[in-house]
Structures are given as structure tokens and as C-alpha cells.
Structure 1
Amino acid sequence: MELTKKPTPKSTLIFGAAGHIGRPLAEYLTREAPDIPTFACRQKHRKVENTAEQVSRGRVLAADYEDLSSFAAAVKGVEGVFVISSSGMSENVAITNLTTVLKQDGSAVQVIRLLERILDGSGLPVTYINCGASIIDNLWLQIQPVLLNKTFICTEHRVPFLDPQDIAEVAGHLSLSDNAKHIGAFHTMNNGHNWLTYEEVAGILGDELGERLPLTEAMGLHGVLGP
């Protein structure tokens, strides 16, 4: 193969497929490359229905991320790997074990890692992607106090936002690309369009909830929440 090209993975394994990025990635790969098997890997203690098995045609693998033999069975023969941390996961142990089993198996042609450069020095063909914006649906993590106080509390400023599906599509494009320049690269994602004020964000949340949500500056918290 030419030095400017990399192999396109003939199979892809998604760690963190239960999340808001892993699931749309599975959907994207299944839609754009239906002949390339896409597997969702879940931790053994998690329920199957919380993973992306519906869109990966039932291909769900369970692995104990702290057990090398279990991990090795999950990655056996897999060429493409997408890694995103999931809640409750001991990341240092899991990523160390993942590095070990991928190097032992030797099949991986590209590992795409969201955020931390924890795979530096692993010798694996890694592509890093970094979200240079806030993820829009993380706003729902703040929704309970918003509903309670009928106001959106934040210091007014502009923030870039990205949808998880955009992040998943970037990862999918990188996986299916044959451009070798992506190996070892660190790509920061920002669509340059959704540069919103928190007044605008409050309007979006209000539209979703069907009621007007005024923005209250964070410095006014005392007046809203009391002493």
C-alpha cells in the first residue's frame, strides 16, 4: 500500500457504544459501510439494551475491561477501534489493558480515541479527536435545577456547541478514510457555526420544554436560590 494511504478497517469495535457519541457512530458506520461489520462492546455488568446493538445488527460483545483474557477475546481480529470513556470505568486500567491486547492481537489498523492522549507511546496506529466545543445535549445534565427554578442560570457569554452526531460523523469519516495522515494526528472539532450566547441557549431549552426560560446571571444566584 502507498505510504500516503492506510488500510480501511474491515471491522470496527466501538467501546462506549451506550453513549450519545458511540451510538450515532454505530449508526453512521452501519449506514455508510454496511459491508464492514460494526461491533458494540459493553462492560459485562451493563445491560445489553443500553448498547448500540439495534444499529450494529445485534453484534454486541461483553468484556470485563479489567480482565486481559476477556478483553483479548473482544478485540480478536478487529481492525478498527473507537474508544470513549464510559461512566464507572477505571480508565487507566481499561486503556492499559486495551493497549496490551491490541498489541498482542496485532490486527488494528486504526484506533480512534476521543479526548485524552492516553495512548501516546503505545505504538498503536492512533488518531485523536478532540471536541473544541461544548456538547449540546450535556445541557440536559442541568435540566433539574432549570425546571425547579423556571430559569436558566449562567454567566452570559458565547460558547461554541457541537451535536454528538457531528462528532460521531467525524469519527466515522476518519475510520473509513484511507488517508494515512490521520494516523498520529490530533484533530480538534468545531463546526464554526453554533457559536451561541446563553440567552440563545435558554431560548432553545425553552422551545424544547414548551415554556419561556429567562436567563439569570450567575452573580444573581443568591436572589434566585436564597441564602
Structure 2
Amino acid sequence: MSEYHQKVPESFLLFGVSGRVGDAAARAVSKQAPKAKLRLASTKPEKAEKLKKKWPNAEVVVANYEDLPSLDAAFKDIEAIFIITQFGLDEKLAMTNVVTAAKRSANKLLVMIRFTAIFPEFSLNRLPKSLQGSEHGPAFISQPIGKAIMDESLLPVIYLNAGATFIENYKDHAKPIREAGKMIWPSRRVPFILVEDIGEIIANIILSGDVRHFGAFHTMNNGQDRLDLFEAAEIISQVIGKKIEVVASKEAYFKVYTSFMGEAMANRLWEFFQYEKDHEVIWALNDFAERTLGRKPKTLKAWVEENKELFVSGNSQVEGGLVANLKRS
């Protein structure tokens, strides 16, 4: 063991495994460390029952970030923790409880991964008033509040930030592409990354034992795609051999998506996407994902090639995109 490495964790607590990122992380950890103790935490009893069926060899517990006793029980005898939060959580209370439970867990904690989805190093004071909120707000507002609490704790925390759109979100565009040859969505230039690659990155970092990551804020993207909607549509068009029309107007967006997510959520997303567009120069591609994976991350083009039938006939096993997950949450 070198001066930069500690004992590799043998017991893991993962939150959010009912969601895409948490599920990918759990699968990657269990694949790389099949003999490790796996404890999966869900905030809802009904989701916990589903997790028990899907993960028969894992321990499943009900734990809530806003309920300290449940966290105390979940953290017991755990060496590695994966934290991911959802829209609307009181990050101040939640991360205060996480820190308290971690410090009371008999000093067994070796590493904690905190997943975020925020603009790196950008002042929240520059947000338009319509997007400003409290610790109960969207991730890009609330998660910096939680991060400040984590930073002050001096716990062995590593931040993995999704500075990219998820490639799998493009499943949402498959049906309108098949039926009308259209993509209806706001256009802004952002980096891309595959959720499956994020899961593998989480596992690689948490199993590395490398203490040099403690306190680091790693922004993840695939290092290759930084595209707006028109460029993404051109890539899909080339793969499926069908010209795709991009409709990026506010009117078309609201006509299609308000019925899925409600007017308030649709409006907030539109405002955030406009905010991203106004500040898209902030995003920079990097090689963190490639270095951590030991290979090139998957590109949008490669993913579309693998799931071509999704855009042509509708046949695919890929999980739902952003809209589908918003409907489930």
C-alpha cells in the first residue's frame, strides 16, 4: 500500500439505487467487488420492496436524509457511502444529518462519494431571480448548500459532478423522430456522458483507495461531445439515414411537455435550459472520465449506433430518459 492509498472498502451503502445513476453505481460496484457487503437505502418503503426483489443478495434498508435516526442505522458498520439527492430536498438539513451520522459511525468510514449536478465554480448570485430559491430548490441551487456543509466537515468526501447531459436522455426523442422526423426540445450547447460510464467511474473511484481524491470536485463528461441540439440531431440523422427536423421553440416545447411534467416544472426547466444557453461557454471538455475508466467514454454517436432500432422501430432495452424519470419521481 503506497503513501497515497488506504484500505479498499469492503462494505458499501448506496442511496438512490431506484434511479439511473444509483443503479449504475450499484451494478458497477457489485461487479468489481462481488464479495463486498452491499447495503441499499431507499427513502420509500415501496421502492425498498422493489429493490429487495432486484437485489436479492443485498441488504435493503429504508433511510431518509431528513431523518437522523434512520441514517444512524444505515451508516452502521459501513466503510464507503454513495450520496445522491433529488429535486426539492432540504440540502441544509439533509447534509447536516449525513455529516452527523457519518461522524457517529464508529470511525469506520473510509470514503464518501457525493454526486452533484451543478455548474462548477459559478456564483449562484448570477442566477436569474426566477431560478433562485432555497435549499429546497433544484440541484444547481440546493447542492452547493449541501457541498458547503460537507466541505466544513472534513470527512473523506469526493465530489463527482455530472457536468453534462445524460446520453440516455435522448431516448425521449426516439418516438417523435420515428413518427414525425422531429426533435422538440430547447437547444443549448452542453457536454455529454453516458450514465453507465458514470456508474463505472463511481465504482473505480470508490474502490481505488486513493486518498488524493479527498475533497476533490471532479466534473465528468465524455471529453468528446459538446453539442447543441442541432448538432446532436445531425449525428442521429447520419446514423439512422433519416433527416431530422429540430424544433427548439418555446411554444412547441410547452405544447409537448406540459402534459408530461406539469406547467410549473416545464417552465422551470425551460428557464434553466435558457440559463445554460446563456452561459454555455463555461462548459469545457476534460479527460477525467477517460483517465478514470482507462478507456474512451462512449459518445452520442456510438450509443445511437448501438440503439439504432430505438429510433427506427422502437425496439430497445435502454432505460427511460429525462422525461420518463421526471414522470416516475
* Normalised TM-score (structure 2): 0.58
Residue 175 of structure 1 is aligned with which of 186, 192, 206?
206
How many Å separate the matches in 2 of 1:145 and 1:88? Answer: 30
How many Å separate the matches in 2 of 1:135 and 1:169? Answer: 14
Secondary structure of the residue aligned to 2:61 is strand
Please state how far the C-alpha of 1:94 moved relative to its aligned partner: 2.1
Please state how far the C-alpha of 1:120 moved relative to its aligned partner: 1.1
Please state how far the C-alpha of 1:140 moved relative to its aligned partner: 5.3
RMSD: 3.4
How many Å separate the matches in 2 of 1:14 and 1:53? Answer: 16
**Contact 1:27 1:56 (C-alpha < 8 Å) held by counterparts:** no
Q: What is residue 152 of structure 2 aligned with on the other side? A: 121
Q: What is residue 109 of structure 2 aligned with on the other side? A: 108
Structure 1 pair 208–57 and aligned structure 2 pair: CA distance change class (3 A): farther
Secondary structure of the residue aligned to 1:188 is strand
* Structure 2 stretches lacking a partner, 5+ long: 117-142, 256-329
**Contact 1:40 1:60 (C-alpha < 8 Å) held by counterparts:** yes
Identity of aligned residues (%): 32
Greater Cα shift, 82-91 or 143-152: 143-152
Residue 215 of structure 1 is aligned with which of 241, 246, 250?
246
Correspondence 1:74-113 to 2 at 5 A: 74-87=74-87, 89-105=89-105, 106-113=107-114
The structure that is strand-richer by fraction is 1
Secondary structure of the residue aligned to 1:128 is strand
* Structure 1 stretches lacking a partner, 5+ long: none
Q: What is residue 18 of structure 2 aligned with on the other side? A: 18
* Normalised TM-score (structure 1): 0.81
Secondary structure of the residue aligned to 1:120 is helix
The residue identity in structure 1 corresponding to 2:163 is G
Greater Cα shift, 82-91 or 186-195: 82-91
Q: What is residue 223 of structure 2 aligned with on the other side? A: 192
**Contact 1:40 1:53 (C-alpha < 8 Å) held by counterparts:** no
Greater Cα shift, 106-115 or 156-165: 156-165
Q: What is residue 65 of structure 1 aligned with on the other side? A: 65
**Contact 1:11 1:36 (C-alpha < 8 Å) held by counterparts:** yes
Please state how far the C-alpha of 1:61 moved relative to its aligned partner: 1.2
How many Å separate the matches in 2 of 1:58 and 1:178? Answer: 22
Aligned length: 223
Please state how far the C-alpha of 1:4 moved relative to its aligned partner: 1.4
The residue identity in structure 2 corresponding to 1:68 is L
How many Å separate the matches in 2 of 1:45 and 1:59? Answer: 14
Secondary structure of the residue aligned to 2:9 is coil
**Contact 1:23 1:52 (C-alpha < 8 Å) held by counterparts:** no
Which deviations, in whole Å up to 9, do the C-alpha atoms of 1:153-179 show, x marking residues without a partner?
Answer: 356554321111111111111101022
**Contact 1:17 1:52 (C-alpha < 8 Å) held by counterparts:** no
